[in-house]
Amino acid sequence: MIDAATKAALSEAFPPIAWTEFRGDTRAVVPRDVLFEVFKRLRDAHGFDLMVDITCVDYLNYRGAEDRFGLVYLLASTHTNERITLRVFVNEPDLSVPSAVALWEGANWLEREVWDMFGIPFEGHPDLRRILMPEEFTAFPLRKDYPLQGRGERHNFPVLHREDA
Amino acid sequence: MAIDVPENVVVSKLDELASWCRKNSLWPMPFATACCGIELMATGASRHDLARFGAEVMRFSPRQCDLMIVAGRVVMKMLPVLQRIWSQMHEPKWCISMGACASTGGVFDTYSVVQGIDRFLPVDMYVPGCPPRPEQLIQAIIDLQDKIQREGTISGREFATRSRQERKRALVELPVITLPRGASHLPHGMRVE
Amino acid sequence: MPLAAAKTLDDLAQAKSRDYVWTLNFGPQHPATHTTLRLLLMLEGERVVDAIPDIGYLHSGFEKIGEHLNYNQYVTVTDRMNYISPLANNVAWHGAVEKLLGLEITPRCKYLRTILVELARISDHLLCNGAVGLDTGAFTYFLYAFYQREVLYDIFETLCGARFTNSYTRVGGVMYDATPLVIEKIRSFVRNFPKTLEDMDRLLNRNRIFIDRTKGVGVLTKDQAINRSATGPIARASGVTRDLRKDEPYLAYADFDFQICCATAGDCFARYLVRMAEMRESLKIVEQAIENLPSGPVNVGIDERTTLPDKKQVYTTIEGTISHFELVMTNRGFVVPNDEAYGAIEAPNGELGFYLVGDGTDVAYRARCRPPSYIHFALFPHLIRGHTLSDVVAVLGSLNIIAAELDR
């Protein structure tokens, strides 16, 4: 839920934003090229100083979806208790998105997780490498084309017998 | 033996004595990864006291323990660590797989959870439960003590046989059955992709 | 495990000039790392120059499971995230699901969930502070805390059948209603707990050793806390006055009189004190709630078609029968809008939220958990620079990192 004044100011500054409301959440679909300016404007001019969460949704099997990946940024303001959800849609082959680490340090690990789970590279991220999966893991687990049980990586280890050790 | 007494008599009494000593002073090495770790801590706390059974110190150093209790799910990133700690323990050593996740993978039949540590380690006792109550863990330790008393030898010969290890290994992976989407509240053994 | 070289020291040449910098592996198996997390500490003698966290040793694919289990089955998996206060996770999950469905729960259910979240909060803070005490050497404090947690486990077991990992909530209600025995047990807990809190205070609040080990250690300023997305007791101990129970009241919190506990110092001692104070406030809330528990049904009615109706209705009314079968048959289930929602609560560790994408069926299309422990662990390298090796343990304990929520 955000103030009408904030919404009006943002719509005026960035006309391509599409606004929706659902169950009290205000969502804004932002095109990728103006994303960083929107972030800057929200943080500096409208007081959204808390980056609550960054995540991604893979719309591969979703009915009525046009783009494959939808990045979701949840922001909140500690002064006025407003919340806003920003959504950015990206498609293969060019999946990269500007990183928010320069504005909110809390975005560092959140973006690393999105890279690890979905394979979305963030431009300008200081240290983009895998965080939850092992370094040598090659696939991106939370994509819809990766099976729940995995592709056999979980049992690819040597066996220790009783008389070995 | 100089006198002509069957060798087995003395040695078997020594075996019993050694097993009795070992079973009553099992020092656990808690390899606590997840929720079962909290029940392990609760078993060591004041209400269900594990120290009554000889497990006085929970040493976190593998060099000083004889019983490894794997409590919680083991993920593929963690498995080499687990194997390394197991090989650092001195013999005689035993392993208890506490909880459903350590025994078979539990609720988590996913890409990163090992479906049972007995695929990669020799396990002596399995404790079912999610998480097992402290009383169940204590029962497992008592049963392990019985096992040590029955099978123990002073020289550790019971650890030398590969055939006993083979029998305990987990068997074949279950075949994947795919069902149409929407049949989601069937038992979890049926995969929905 | 191979770890790619991360850029930590500003200049590699600078590193070479500091001969005494060595690396200590604070490995995934360690008594003081509350379960499996790994830190690579670059030490210069005893001082920590830098700390590189390495996590993922308990990553079990919770979010992927969320795409295969329906909304009532997934609550069992949410228990296993922050397993110190599983009821808070259950209430957070179903709060988010009910927000997505647009469902309004009954007053009795709201009060009951509030009571249980506050009891879970007490349980979590007891363990967190107990672990800080244990790691800094105060073993008696830890045993006092654990004994009270056993009393709480007794209450949870009488209510839901399991000591923890309760999976107590359901869409539109809860699993079982609270019986008079449970209410009696909660009342006696409320009567007896303040005495234990006083004992625990007397042990550590003015204890010279404890204060020396925690005061001034791991200081987090208010601006850094907000910039690094800290929430919960960690942010409140740094002066951020944000608590979802007061800022965005949910469940029945608007009816109760309680205060938010904040501190300004931002060090480990402040976090310890904030948690002790929060336990007292939670006890006040439980006391008020248990005296004013509204009567009435605890699950929503059969018109919403989301909870299993009780058997009398199933056997005697046609709506009951239809509702029962709609929920149980495989190609039915309840209808969820094709949209996305985010629902959060003030969990003991911080803001715990679930971002749900519904696709019409009763299985979530995407169930994302916003894990407070994950975000707080990213604070660790910032907090520990310049402190000694023994402070690592104190800081790690005060951040309340639960590995299952960290890795999911």
In this complex, the chains that touch C, judged by 3 or more CB pairs closer than 8 A, are: A, B
Q: Say what the pLDDT of residue C238 is.
A: 92
Contact: B119, A150; criterion CB under 8 Å: no
Q: What is the mean pLDDT of residues A102-114?
A: 91
- pLDDT of C313: 81
Nearest to B75 among C57, C70, C330 (CB): C57
Model confidence pLDDT, tens digit, residues C130-181: 989 888 888 889 888 888 999 999 999 999 888 888 889 988 888 888 899 9
Measure CB to CB from residue A153 to each of B76, B121, B191 and give the nearest one. B76
For B189, half-sphere exposure in the C-beta direction (CA atoms, 13 angstrom radius) is 4
Q: Which token pair is A144?
A: 């819809």
193 residues of chain B, pLDDT tens digit each? 445 555 567 777 888 888 888 888 889 988 888 888 888 888 887 788 888 888 878 878 889 888 999 998 999 888 999 999 998 988 888 999 999 989 988 888 888 899 888 888 888 899 998 889 999 999 999 999 988 888 777 777 777 766 555 454 444 555 555 655 544 444 444 443 3
Which residue on chain B is closest to A142 by alpha carbon?
B111
Angle C127-C128-C134 from CA coordinates, rounded to 5°: 80
Question: What's the whole-number mean pLDDT along residues A102-118?
Answer: 91
Distance of CA C109 to the CA centre of its chain: 20
Q: Does B111 touch chain A (CB under 8 A)?
A: yes
The amino acid that residue A1 corresponds to is M
Average pLDDT over residues C243-267: 89
When scoring B97, B111, B161 by the number of chain A Cβ atoms within 10 A, the one with the most, hence best to mutate, is: B111
Residue type, B183: A
Q: Write out chain C in H/E/C secondary structure.
A: CCCCCCCCCCCHHHHHHCCCEEEEEECCCCCCCCCCCEEEEEEECCEEEEEEEECCCCCCCHHHHCCCCECCCHHHHHHCCCCCCHHHHHHHHHHHHHHHHCCCCCHHHHHHHHHHHHHHHHHHHHHHHHHHHHHCCCHHHHHHHHHHHHHHHHHHHHHHCCCCCCCCEECCEECCCCCHHHHHHHHHHHHHHHHHHHHHHHHHCCCHHHHHHHCCCCCCCHHHHHHCCCCCHHHHCCCCCCCHHHHCCCCCHHHCCCCCCCCCCCCHHHHHHHHHHHHHHHHHHHHHHHHCCCCCCCCCCHHHCCCCCCHHHHHHCHHHHHHHHHHHCCCCCCCCCCCEEEEEEEECCEEEEEEEECCCCCECCEEEEECHHHHHHCCHHHHHCCCEHHHHHHHHHHCCCCHHHHHC
Which candidate in A157, A162, A163, A164 is best for mutational testing of the B interface (most B CBs within 10 A)? A162
Instruction: Name the closest residue on chain B to residue A132, using Cα atoms.
Output: B77
Q: Which residues of A touch C7 (CB under 8 A)?
A: 126-127
Contact C73 B38 (CB under 8 A): no
Find the CB nearest A78 among C3, C226, C408: C226
Look at A135 and C4 and tell me if their CB atoms are within 8 Å.
yes
Neighbours of chain B (3+ CB pairs under 8 A): A, C
Nearest to B73 among C27, C60, C69 (CB): C60
Nearest to C222 by CA among C185, C152, C270: C270
Is it the case that residue A67 has pLDDT exceeding 60? Answer: yes
Q: How far is C96 from chain A (nearest CA, A)?
A: 11
State whether residue A69 is helix, strand or coil. Answer: strand
Q: How many CB atoms lie within 10 A of CB B56?
A: 15
Beta bridge partners of C170: C173
Q: What local confidence, expressed as pLDDT, does residue B61 receive?
A: 85
pLDDT over 90, % of chain B = 14
Positive/negative CA dihedral, C132, C137, C139, C144: negative
User: Of C238, C244, C221, C236, which Cα lies nearest the Cα of C351?
Assistant: C244
Residue B128 near residue B179, CB atoms below 8 Å = no
- The answer to whether C329 contacts chain B (CB < 8 Å) is no
pLDDT at C112 over 70: yes
Residue of A nearest to B111 (CA): A150
Q: Does B119 touch chain A (CB under 8 A)?
A: yes
- Predicted confidence (pLDDT) per residue in C260-318, tens digit: 989 998 899 999 999 999 999 999 999 999 998 888 888 887 777 777 777 888 888 88
Beta carbons of C355 and A55 less than 8 Å apart: yes
Q: Which residues pair with C40 in a beta bridge?
A: C25, C52
Q: What pLDDT score was predicted for residue C356?
A: 92
Among candidates C31, C80, C146 on the partner chain, residue whose Cβ is nearest the Cβ of B34: C80
A78–C contact, CB cutoff 8 A:
yes
Q: Do A22 and C340 touch (CB under 8 A)?
A: yes
**Mutation site, A154, A159, A163, interface B, largest B CB count within 10 A:** A154
For residue B92, cis peptide bond before it (omega within 30 degrees of 0): yes
What percentage of chain C carries pLDDT values higher than 90?
Answer: 36
| Residue A140: Cβ within 10 Å count | 18
- Nearest residue in chain C measured CA to CA from B110: C61
Q: How far apart are the first and last CA of chain C?
A: 20
Residues of B with Cβ-Cβ distance to C150 under 8 angstroms: 42, 45, 47
Q: Are A95 and A58 in contact (CB under 8 A)?
A: no
CB contact under 8 A, A150 and B111: yes
Instruction: Tell me: pLDDT of C259 over 70.
Output: yes
Q: What angle do CA A47, A102, A127 make, to 5 degrees?
A: 145
CA distance B169 to chain C (A): 23
Residue range C383-397, pLDDT digits in tens: 988 898 888 888 988
Q: Residue C54: closest CA among chain B residues belongs to which residue?
A: B77
Half-sphere exposure of C364 (CA within 13 A, CB side): 31
Quote the tokens at residue C297. 């049904």
pLDDT category of residue A165 using cuts at 50, 70 and 90:
low
pLDDT the model gives residue B2:
47
Q: Per DSSP, which regions of B19-175 are E strands?
A: 28-32, 67-71, 94-98, 125-127
Which residues of chain A make contact with C228, given a CB cutoff of 8 A? Answer: 104-106
What is the residue-averaged pLDDT of chain C? 87
Instruction: Using an 8 Å CB-CB cutoff, list chain B residues near C164.
Output: 35, 38, 131
pLDDT of residue C271: 93
